[in-house]
């Protein structure tokens, strides 16, 4: 199956994409994100911002929306950038160390340590059949 991404209409200072919830879209999303950082004059944030974006995107791959698309928003702030990634898990993310033998669970620690600010906004997804499912937007900000 081919990967699909949908570019949404652009607003000033905001880039919105909806990515297919497939592993193949992860490297593509990072490549496009790097190009966006360069275009908005934030390439100096590239290394750290890409690590954090990748962590949020990986979590969203585990909990995709009912339409199997991962919504992302990249915003230019007056003093940096803000990155938002939607997922369909209603669980609040918790910053805590996983067991030593765990294969997952360290990404949010990186987000907490490397970003200027981060947070969660709860939201609801329409499943296309009139039902609403709980989910969230996880975001982080980096200062220029």
**Residue 126 clears pLDDT 90, i.e. is over it:** no
- The 10s digit of each residue's pLDDT in 42-66 is 999 999 999 999 999 999 999 988 8
CATH number, position 88: 3.30.565.10
This prediction has a pTM of: 0.86
- 97: exposed, middle or buried (Cβ count in 10 Å: 0-12, 13-18, 19+): exposed
74 and 36 Cβ atoms separated by less than 8 Å: yes
Question: What range does the domain containing 68 cover?
Answer: 13-143
Split into its structural domains, the chain has a count of 1
Give the pLDDT of residue 103. Answer: 62
82 found inside a domain = yes
pLDDT at 56: 95
> Does any domain span residue 2?
no
Q: Quick one: pLDDT band at residue 16, thresholds 50, 70, 90?
A: very high
Q: Let me know if residue 99 belongs to a domain.
A: yes
Question: Rounded to an integer, what is the distance from CA 92 to the centroid of its chain?
Answer: 15
Separation of first and last alpha carbons in the chain: 39
């Amino acid at each position: 199956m081919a990967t699909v991404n949908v570019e949404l209409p652009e607003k000033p200072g905001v880039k919105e994409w909806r990515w297919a919830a497939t592993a193949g879209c992860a490297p593509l999303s990072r490549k496009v994100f790097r190009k966006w950082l360069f275009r908005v004059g934030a390439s100096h944030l590239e290394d750290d911002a890409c690590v954090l974006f990748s962590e949020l995107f990986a979590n969203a791959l585990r909990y995709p929306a009912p339409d199997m698309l991962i919504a992302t928003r990249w915003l230019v702030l007056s003093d940096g950038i803000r990155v938002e990634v939607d997922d369909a898990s209603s669980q609040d993310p918790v910053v805590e160390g996983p067991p030593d033998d765990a294969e997952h669970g360290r990404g949010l620690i990186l987000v907490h340590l490397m970003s200027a600010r981060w947070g969660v906004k709860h939201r609801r997804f329409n499943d296309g059949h009139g039902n609403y499912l709980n989910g969230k937007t996880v975001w982080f900000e980096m200062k220029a």
